[in-house]
Chain A
Amino acid sequence: MANKEMSVAELREKHMAAAETVNSLRERLRQKRLILLDTDVAGYARAQGRSAVTFGPTDLVCCRTLQGHTGKVYSLDWTPERNRIVSASQDGRLIIWNALTSQKTHAIKLPCAWVMTCAFSPNGHSVASGGLDSVCSIFNLNSPADKDGNLPVSRMLSGHKGYVSCCQYVPEEDTHLITSSGDQTCVLWDITTGLRASVFGGEFQSGHTADVLSVSISGMNSRMFVSGSCDTTARLWDTRVASRAVHTFHGHEGDVNAVKFFPDGNRFGTGSNDGTCRLFDIRTGHQLQVYQQQHGENEASQVTSIAFSISGRLLFAGYSNGDCYVWDTLLARVVLNLGSVQNSHENRVSCLGLSADGSALCTGSWDTNLKIWAFGGHRTVI
């Protein structure tokens, strides 16, 4: 008996020592990286004499306001080809919008009103949503409505032990979906069977150590995805290797609220509670750039959501104070603040996304509205 107690104490000690070692190694790694990182993207670009993109106040204008939600909008997603948007709100509904006419085509009442995320399937025939019920629900838009006019849930993906914070369909695959959850894991689902194909992180201490808040699947290589978490890190995963993360990216000083792959698939951006966006390179593991607006004495507001323009030159970032900056990724300069132009949102910008052809940006806000911004005049899409 006493022997056993001793061994437990011993083990704990060993564990502590190991953790200590890991931390010191991590610190050394960080130092090393700092030494290697003698410049950032903006510094180099400036040295090359590049200048920032210029944006007039009318170059990006709000051309549609999608009204119809009665609660805070939490998430939105575009269809890959057609101009439709799905949005999820605290009023307990998913709404499918036709972005061109700004009309609703479906309003789906959710079984659980506390929804956090939604996604369109690649073929545009179904949508997925997840929230505090810890279930990811799939709705087939073509299935007939029940007697109350509600669309039935066509598949429940249950198995998470915490809320579902984000979901994204694997590009070109309508049957696979990756979710992130408050139970510190990400899961790759097979929708046809409703079962978990792989679980990333969780019990074995190889994954995130806090709630995972977002995922983004690489558009170039759909086997790779990144996840951002409350443990202030972002991790890169290979769906074939569930046991451990390919890479862990440190740098943020707050929860990583948003991750998004760069269009070329070799980099990804993050947005965090610390008020910064960062650009990381997945091949070197380096942090390439920090996008931080120099605020005065007042605390920087949190980044809630990010998106890249189709070329990657622009980074759109929504902030908790209602700002929405357009960053020049090359020069790390804010070229436009959509929060200060006319018709801007009156509350936190909670989500944003770019249409597949890059011609329009949709922002969702806690003021219950979504807005579609398009490049005005003769400016070409970049």
Chain B
Amino acid sequence: MPSTRGSFSGVVGEDGVQYSFAMEYSGPPVTFDIPKAVPIDVETIPVASVVAQVSLSDKLSLPVVQPILPLDNRSKMFSKELKLLGCEPTVSPTSVIDGHECVSKEITLGSEASVSPHSVTAFESGVTDNQDCVLSGELCRLGALEFSNGRYGSSELLEMVNVCQSRSSISHGNSHELVGGAGSSGMFEFSEGIGKSGELFGSSCELRASTDFGKENLDANISNPPDWASSESVLSLDRRSSEVSSFRSANGKNLSTSDFKRPVVTFRGVDTDSSVNEESSIFEAKNSGFQKEPYNEAKKGKGGSCYRCSKGNRFTEKEVCIVCDAKYCSNCVLRAMGSMPEGRKCVSCIGFPIDESKRGNLGKCSRLLKRLLNQLEIQQIMKAEKLCEANQLPPEYILVNGKPLSHEELVILHSCPNPPKKLKPGNYWYDKVSGFWGKEGQKPSQIISPHLSVGGPINADASNGNTQVYINGREITKVELRMLQLVGVQCAGNPHFWVNDDGSYQEEGQKNTRGYLWGKAGAKLVCALLSLPIPSKSANSCGEQVHNLDARAVPDYLGQRTLQKLLLVGHYGSGTSTIFKQAKILYKATPFSYEERENIKLKIQSNLYNYLGILLEGREHFEEETLADMRSNQSSDESSAAITSLSPLMTQGATDGNFAKTIYSIGPRLKSFSDWLLKAMALGNLDAIFPAATREYAPVIEDLWNNAAIQVTYSRRNELKMLPTVASYFLERAADILRTDYEPSDVDILYAEGVTSSNGLISMEFSFAQPEPDDSISTADQHDSLLRYQLVRVPARGLGENCKWLEMFEDVRMVIFCVALSDYDQFCIDGNGPPMNKMLLSRRFFESIITHPTFDQMDFLLILNKFDLFEEKIEDIPLSLCEWFDDFHPVTSRHRSNGNSSNINSNPTLGQVAFHYIAVKFKRLYSSLTGRKLFVSSVRGLEPTSVDSALKYAREILKWDEERINFTLSEYSIYSTEASSFSQ
């Protein structure tokens, strides 16, 4: 425990946290001081009389008065006494004055002879200057009084502290009695003296002294005035408050008002090695030592008037700022703290870390607030107080195996399936193999998730055991040994055990498992009896842990920090939704819930009806056409035998024009179905009636699909403009899909249209961590899994220069722009103009997105999608069909050699060459508009690996982005070109 404090606080010092405290702290007290300082001088007289009375009645002051005269001797004597034997509480009142002396001795760590005179003289000078020693005596007494209140045990150390206290109060007495102008000089002198003494024994002493000093000041300042309202005290109040602030700024730490000093002393005892950081560590130790104190004070209203309205006294109820300790009365608290977005902080303190001593009070509401606000409001405040990022435990305050944690490590610790309970600042040991967790120097307190990469390696003396029995390199404590013996583990011969997280143990150097700790019937009972931890249920199922990666709750403030947003945009039909679905299937344990799958199934089925409808419509059209042709043939040359190019398909010559049967004709049953379906489609209510209809019409569909007329129509599907290319995938399995027990496969879902809503934005969170069956997760992976990505797909509609909502995405890390390669021969009607090439539309869209002010300096990844389709298509249809690509001449060898060095070994296909050509086109366009580099990747949206590698490439770019500064420009460009072709 002591060592915990000492070294832990040393760490804090290194970080200079306390400096910020100082800065912010100087605010409130100053505003408070200035108005008050002047009036107090005026009011001194009336206040004085009251105080004297109070103090008298408060204490049986006889001992105090006596010692004042024989100051020097007594004090010296007394201090010696003090040092030798632990003083009883009864002594303390008398000891007050001597205390001063004594302290100096303490400070010098016992070498009274040389140093103490120094400080004593300083003090004495102060005393002699001042006329009424009585007062100083009083003051001293008060200090002592306080001490006796605040202390519970009487140990030597405590007594010494007590003495320190009284000493400092004396010095205050001096200082304010010298108010004339040199009031503070005495005090400073004094501290100087201490400083000198401190020189001899390391700065720690000096610091301690000054700390006490400051603390005492504050104490007197805030909590005492009502008690002893003598003129001096009031004066001192003013003085001190300024002094306090100077101390604060000097020490860079908020000195709490408590006079509970044990931690200081323990610190001194322990912290002999780290003398450099002591200044701050004192404060830290202290703060963590007396968490309850300030709060109680506030409750008791000891703190004097409200910081804002300066009204009220210590008895009025007040709320305390958890950062700067400012106190506000019920009238002012809402004004001073505003809407409390981070809990009970002054408006000016918002965003600053809290006073560690108040951590225990986070989320605990005071009566004052309960009176002012309703239940819901209080809930929100307390929630904010506990959960907001600024109030979280700074990671460096927690040491695991002697190493302060980094932010990531703390996140790991917090987000593991079985985190340590009630993590407080301090020093812990952690056995990574078995998951044992405990405070430094103590037996294990809990079994947390094993194999977390936090902290350093465990030390043998981590739990301060002396049994010579080791578990995973840690010497275990007696209690543990006892437990082992009780559950029947052979511990003779001081064995070294390896204990795994599942409780299996083996002796060091031996392969075979000796048994399972928790397998024994009474093991858990024994542990409970010896208050040793037992593994929690979830800890045993390692496989589950990894699985729950998605589900486990990462606190909001952590989630926000580790979330990287990727924006996926693309023109209509560029395959963004396929990529989104693919990512879902790739990275989600359950990509689609049962409900979603049901919806998808319905969607696929209704799509299929739509495709069928289009086919049937086409059939009617073809039938009419054929009949019309037939009629025209008949009229042109009356011969029924005349056969036109189309008529060979006729199965039966229709001699009269009314009843003609063509190859496209269908029977009456199918005809009626066809009519019904087409009517439903025309009315647009297919979606409304279709689920009910599936059962009824399922057999019809099968007949329909097998019908020759439909097959013939299907063979002419290229002429049906409305029928999407994916339709054939589903139509060919129509009968299967329309069964009621049909379950869409992942591939079906990928192919299906309209599964992801094309109307609105959709997003998914994922991480790249692969579920690994064995529990040996490498460190890198674990860090990786913390990095969460959010893929956000937005509809292309309305995205343009004037887009109102694109500015909502200024926080995305990267824009992934999707272009379908196979679009180069496609045309669509844009607005009222003539049909435009879809590739050119994509280009226009691309230009408007990359030049949008929101995406200034944004990284862009261009995904050239549908590479598979493109490869097929380019063999038949020249790329130059799109005017943007009219200078593509793949036959010349120039392109091949220019192409890419990575492809030189294998003869690149036409598709690859064309892809490179298009990629370069886009890259040039991009750099001409933005002057930066475009990342390009080719993707086959339907292939999982292809999408996976593209998204991992995106991750690499982001990582690279963070490290970019370290590389030279040339390296950078090499990297990017190579990477851009890496996924083909």
Residues of A within 8 A of B (CB): 16, 64-68, 70, 72, 90, 97-98, 101-107, 112-114, 116, 131-135, 148-149, 160-163, 165, 182-183, 211, 213, 230, 255
Assembly CA distance A323 to B757 (angstroms): 38
Contact A67 B338, beta carbon cutoff 8 Å: yes
Give Cα A51–Cα B761 distance, bound, in whole angstroms. Answer: 50
Q: Check A162–B350 contact: CB distance below 8 A.
A: no
B804 proximal to A (CB < 8 A): yes
Contact with A along B364-375 (1 / 0, CB 8 A): 000000001110
Among A101, A116, A183: residue with most chain B CB under 10 A: A101
Query: What does the 1/0 interface line of B790-817 toward A look like (CB < 8 Å)?
Result: 0000110110001011001000000000
- Which A residues lie within 8 Å of B797 (CB)? 161-162, 182
User: In this complex, what residue of B is CB-closest to A105?
Assistant: B376
Q: Known contacts A106-B376, A112-B761, A162-B759; is A132 also within 8 Å of B338 by CB?
A: no
Question: Which 4 pairs, one residue from A and one from B, show the smallest C-beta to C-beta distance?
Answer: A134-B760, A103-B377, A132-B761, A104-B380
Taking CB atoms, residues of chain A closer than 8 Å to B384 are 68, 104
Residue among A16, A67, A131 with the most chain B CB within 10 A? A67
Q: How distant is the Cα of A292 from the Cα of B372 in the complex, in angstroms? A: 44
CB contacts (< 8 Å) of B374 on chain A: these are 98, 105
- Quick one: given A68-B384, A182-B797, A255-B802, are A103 and B339 in contact (CB under 8 Å)? yes
Minimum Cβ distance to chain B for residue A89 (Å):
11
23 A–B pairs (Cβ distance < 8 Å), ordered by A? A64-B338, A66-B339, A67-B338, A68-B341, A102-B338, A102-B339, A103-B334, A103-B377, A105-B376, A107-B380, A107-B383, A114-B761, A132-B760, A132-B761, A132-B805, A133-B760, A134-B760, A148-B553, A149-B383, A160-B760, A163-B805, A182-B798, A255-B802
On whether the beta carbons of A103 and B340 are closer than 8 Å, the reply is yes
**A213, B804: Cβ atoms under 8 Å?**
yes
Chain A residues whose CB sits within 8 angstroms of the CB of B339 once the complex forms: 64-68, 97, 102-104
Task: Categorize the interface residue count of chain B.
Answer: 20 to 34
Do A135 and B760 contact each other (CB < 8 Å), given the known contacts A66-B339, A101-B334?
yes
CA distance A64 to B334 in the complex (A): 10
- Let me know if B976 is at the binding interface, CB within 8 A: no
Is B416 interfacial (CB-CB < 8 Å)?
A: no
Residues in chain A near residue B757, CB distance under 8 A: 134
Contact flag A101-B373 (CB < 8 Å), given A67-B341, A132-B805, A134-B757 = yes
CB of B849 within 8 Å of the partner chain: no
Hey, which chain A residues are within 8 Å of B795, CB to CB?
162
- B381 interface residue per 8 A CB criterion: yes
CB neighbours (8 Å) of B832 from chain A are 16
Q: With the chains together, A241 CA to B804 CA distance in Å?
A: 29
What residue of chain B has the Cβ atom nearest to residue A159's Cβ? B759
Q: Are A132 and B794 in contact (CB under 8 A)?
A: yes
B763 interface hit (Cβ, 8 Å): yes
Q: Establish whether residues B760 and A163, one from each chain, have CB atoms under 8 Å apart when the complex forms.
A: yes
Rounded to whole angstroms, the CA-CA distance of A70 and B757 in the bound complex is: 28
Chain A min CB distance to B722 (Å): 15
Selected contact of B798 from candidates A64, A116, A211, CB within 8 Å: A211
Scan B305-348; emit 1 where CB is below 8 A from any A CB, else 0: 00000000000000000000000000000100011110000010
A interface secondary structure, majority: loop
The reply to whether B798 and A101 form a contact with Cβ atoms under 8 Å apart is no
Which applies to chain B's interface (DSSP): helix, strand, loop or mixed? Answer: loop
B806 to chain A, nearest CB (A): 10
Q: What distance in Å separates the Cβ of B763 from its nearest Cβ neighbour in chain A?
A: 7
The answer to whether B377 and A98 touch across the interface, beta carbons within 8 angstroms, is yes
A183→B374 CA distance, assembly (Å): 42
**A265 CB to nearest chain B CB (Å):** 28
Q: How far is the CB of A47 from chain B (nearest CB, A)?
A: 39
CA–CA, A67 and B376, complex, Å? 17
Q: Which residues of B are found within 8 Å of A105, using beta-carbon distances? A: 374, 376-377, 380
- A211 in contact with B759 given A102-B338, A105-B377 (CB within 8 Å): no
Q: Which residues of the other chain, B, contact A65 by a CB distance below 8 angstroms?
A: 338-339, 347
Q: Which of B338, B383, B560, B808 has the most CB of A within 10 A?
A: B808
- Name the interface residues of B765-811: CB closer than 8 Å to any CB of A: 794-795, 797-798, 802, 804-805, 808
A116 to B807, CA, bound (A): 12
Are B350 and A67 in contact, CB atoms less than 8 angstroms apart? Answer: yes
Q: Mark B822-854, 1 if CB is under 8 A from A, else 0.
A: 000000000010000000000000000000000
Contact A211/B377 with A68-B341, A97-B339 known, Cβ cut-off 8 Å = no
A97 to B377, CA, bound (A): 9
Most central of B334, B339, B795, B797 by chain A CB within 10 Å: B339
Beyond A104-B381, A114-B761, 17 extra complex contacts between A and B, CB < 8 Å: A64-B338, A65-B339, A67-B341, A72-B808, A101-B372, A103-B380, A104-B339, A105-B374, A106-B376, A107-B383, A112-B761, A113-B763, A134-B757, A134-B760, A161-B759, A163-B760, A213-B804
* Residues of chain A lying within 8 A (CB to CB) of residue B762: 133
Which residues between 739 and 776 of chain B lie within 8 Å of chain A, taking CB atoms? 757, 759-763
CA distance A230 to B797 in the complex (A): 14
Task: Report the nearest B residue to A91, measured CB to CB.
Answer: B560
Closest A residue to B337 by beta carbon equals A102
Closest Cβ of chain A: how far from B550's Cβ, in Å?
Answer: 14
Please report the C-alpha to C-alpha distance between residue A66 and residue B347 in the assembled complex, in whole angstroms. Answer: 11
A134 touches B759 (CB 8 A): yes
A133 to B805 alpha-carbon distance, docked (Å): 12
Selected contact of B805 from candidates A66, A68, A116, A183, CB within 8 Å: A116
B334, A102: Cβ atoms closer than 8 Å? yes
Of B334, B340, B380, B760, most buried by chain A (CB within 10 Å of CB) is B760
Which residue in chain B gives the minimum CB-CB distance to A1? B625
**Nearest Cβ on chain B to A108's Cβ, whole angstroms:** 11
Complex: A60 Cα to B759 Cα, angstroms: 43
Q: Please, which residue of chain A has its CB at the minimum distance from the CB of B339?
A: A102
A128 to B51, CA, bound (A): 62
Contacts of B763 in A (CB 8 A): 112-113
Q: Please, what's the 1-or-0 string for B592-626, where 1 marks a CB less than 8 Å from any CB in chain A?
A: 00000000000000000000000000000000000
A134 CA / B761 CA spacing, docked (Å): 7
Which chain A positions have C-beta within 8 A of B761?
A: 112, 114, 131-134, 163
Contact A104 B377, beta carbon cutoff 8 Å: yes
- Give the residues in chain B near A114, CB-CB below 8 Å: 761, 805, 808
Question: How far, in whole Å, are A84 and B350 apart by their CA atoms in the complex?
Answer: 24
Closest partner residue, chain B, to A114 (CB atom): B808
Give Cα distance in the complex from A133 to B763, angstroms.
9
Instruction: Specify the chain B residue showing the minimal Cβ separation from A131.
Output: B761
Q: How far is the CB of B711 from chain A (nearest CB, A)?
A: 24
Which partner residue on chain B sits nearest A63 by CB separation? B335
Task: Give the residue name and chain of the A residue nearest to B565 (CB).
Answer: A113
Q: For A113, what are the chain B residues with a Cβ–Cβ distance below 8 Å? A: 763
A67 proximity list for chain B (CB < 8 A): 338-339, 341, 350
Closest CB-CB distance, A140 to chain B, in whole Å? 14
Cα of A148 to Cα of B797 in the assembled complex, Å = 35
Q: What's the nearest-Cβ distance from chain A to residue B563, in Å?
A: 10
> How far is it, in angstroms, between the C-alpha of A372 and the C-alpha of B372 when the chains are bound?
20
Instruction: Scan B209-222; emit 1 where CB is below 8 A from any A CB, else 0.
Output: 00000000000000
